[in-house]
Amino acid sequence: MPPAIEIKQVCKRYGSFSALTDIDLEIHCGEFFALLGPNGAGKTTLISIIAGLSIANCGTAKVMGHNVTTSYQQARLNLGIVPQELVFDPFFTVREILRIQSGYYGIKDNTCWIDEIIERLDLTDKADANMRALSGGMKRRVLVAQALVHKPPVIILDEPTAGVDVELRQTLWEFIQQLNRDGHTVVLTTHYLEEAETLCNRVAMLKEGKIIALDNTQNLIGKLTSGNSLRLRLLPDTLPKSLQALQINHSGGMYELRINDYARMEFILSALRSEQIQILEMHLQQPDLEDVFVRLMRNG
């Protein structure tokens, strides 16, 4: 089976500006994959090339083995995209929009699947409402429904939860996770890094049009952070000599100590007890994907 998405040496330039440079990327079938980067890193440009909305200056892009330019019809049939922008037709109801979208893909009778999508995205009460009457969050749900109406094996979500409420996030992720468990490949771009860390198996990070990190989520966190740390506020405000080698930082009255494993915590607590130093405040700091992201964007 070919990769769900295969990108080889893709470049995109706008005049003298290089939006993407030599992008190589394979996303495997069944993955839940995160494509991360700051604004202007090239994420949406890459998605536009995969979707056939923009043509690369060089390189190739394939969806389920189908070239997005030479076999564009098959590539489109295998792909569903939820765009970042709220784009909608104001003249139709939610159900009519989904029926029309089905027709674009040559699906004549899609009623059962449309009803399931409407129910799973909690749109039942709005199914016969005009799109103009929907809130921003409801419109975004409809965009997700449109992307899924032809049951594509590959789904790209471009900032799907930007500016939406907690209820929609939970409803959306429950549905998308079920689709992923059923075998759909999901590609997510988001600025909510906790979502990417929780949901995604692998992560690619873009900066200035280049991939600067690509790995399993936990591998990235393990390789690019210094491990756990313990933050302490002490009385008196002093650190025993036996612990000074562990000190990372001391600011705002808080000592930050490096701990490579949890057994080190007992050594720290014992050292403080022996010096009769009282702990006023204690926090265990565990590295996460946001720590990796910030470090790479600064130094990568």
Which tens digit of pLDDT belongs to each residue from 184-241? Answer: 999 999 888 988 999 999 999 999 999 999 999 888 887 765 668 889 999 999 999 9
Q: Average of pLDDT values for 171-184?
A: 90
- The sign of the torsion formed by the CA atoms of 224, 34, 210, 297 equals negative
User: Which pLDDT value is given to residue 224?
Assistant: 63
**pLDDT of 165 higher than 80:** no
Q: Place 297 in a pLDDT band, splitting at 50, 70 and 90.
A: confident
What is the C-alpha to C-alpha distance for residues 279 and 291, in angstroms, rounded to an integer?
26
User: Which pLDDT value is given to residue 265?
Assistant: 87
Q: Place 260 in a pLDDT band, splitting at 50, 70 and 90.
A: confident
- In whole numbers, what is the pLDDT of the chain averaged over residues? 90
User: Which pLDDT value is given to residue 228?
Assistant: 81
User: Which pLDDT value is given to residue 291?
Assistant: 82
User: Which pLDDT value is given to residue 199?
Assistant: 92
Q: Is the peptide bond before 236 cis (omega within 30 degrees of 0)?
A: yes
Comparing 129 with 163, the larger pLDDT belongs to 129
Least confident of 15-29, 94-108, 167-181: 167-181
Q: Average of pLDDT values for 261-265?
A: 81
Q: List, as own/partner pairs, every contact residues 62-66 make where C-beta atoms lie below 8 angstroms and the sequence separation is at least 24, other chains included.
A: 62/2, 62/3, 62/5, 62/6, 62/7, 63/4, 63/5, 63/154, 64/2, 64/4, 64/29, 64/153, 64/154, 65/2, 65/3, 65/6
User: Which pLDDT value is given to residue 225?
Assistant: 57
User: Which pLDDT value is given to residue 220?
Assistant: 85
Q: Average of pLDDT values for 148-162?
A: 91
- Report if pTM > 0.85: no
Least confident of 21-35, 220-234, 235-249: 220-234
